Amino acid sequence: MPHLPTRKQCLELLRKYDAPEHMVEHSLAVEKVAVFLAEKMRAAGKKIDVDLVSRAALLHDIGKPESLRTGVSHGERGKEILLAEGMPAAVAGTAKSHALYIICAKKPFRGWEEKIVFYADKRVNHTEIVSLEERFKYLIGRYGNTKEKAERIGACREKVLELEKEILRKAKCDKSLCGLK
């Protein structure tokens, strides 16, 4: 199995695949939330690979620059890029499983690391840590430009709220993220 990249290598990869600075900053904010929760969960007795969470959070949007140019799924493209770059399947799989609609799949996540990165991404709007309510308001305003799209986003909302409860319960934390700064 390939080794996890360093944080520096992750940031270099983002730049290699044309991630603009605001996207890198978003990934750093997602990493901050994800690592915080992973460490809380590990301290509470859950077996969590914090380094995997860190690297997957940093690389979760690596396919987004191409997606914005071509319309391909950024999660799927991110997985392809990361596998081609020799990343472990666990990192690549997290890139694919962070997209919002994945939560509505029958079995959306393979483990806690994927759940944490998915949730952390939903708590970060651009570079600001926000509540799920704020994030969903933004998502509907930005992407819910038809009734069907708005309803699809809304359908995911309840499942994300359920995931939030599960993660926060395991991390022994509340929606404020226990003082994360």
Which band of pLDDT confidence, cut at 50, 70 and 90, is reported for residue 180? confident
Report the mean per-residue pLDDT for the chain. 92
- Enter the tokens of residue 59: 């690389």
Distance CA 5, CA 95 (A): 15
Identify which has the larger pLDDT, 64 or 30: 30
- For residue 1, what pLDDT is reported? 52
Euclidean distance between the first and final Cα of the chain, in Å? 35
Domain 7-179, CATH number (from 3.40.50.300, 1.10.3210.10, 3.20.20.10, 3.40.30.10): 1.10.3210.10
What pLDDT score was predicted for residue 2?
67
pLDDT digits (tens, 9 = 90+) for 11-54: 999 999 999 999 999 999 999 999 999 999 999 999 999 999 99
Dist CA 1 CA 51 (whole Å): 15
Answer yes or no: is pLDDT of 5 > 60.
yes
Tell me the domain boundaries of the chain.
Answer: 7-179
Angle, CA of 109, 86 and 27, to the nearest 5° = 55
Interval 87-103 mean pLDDT:
88
Spatial neighbors of 139 by CB under 8 A, at least 6 apart, are 100, 153
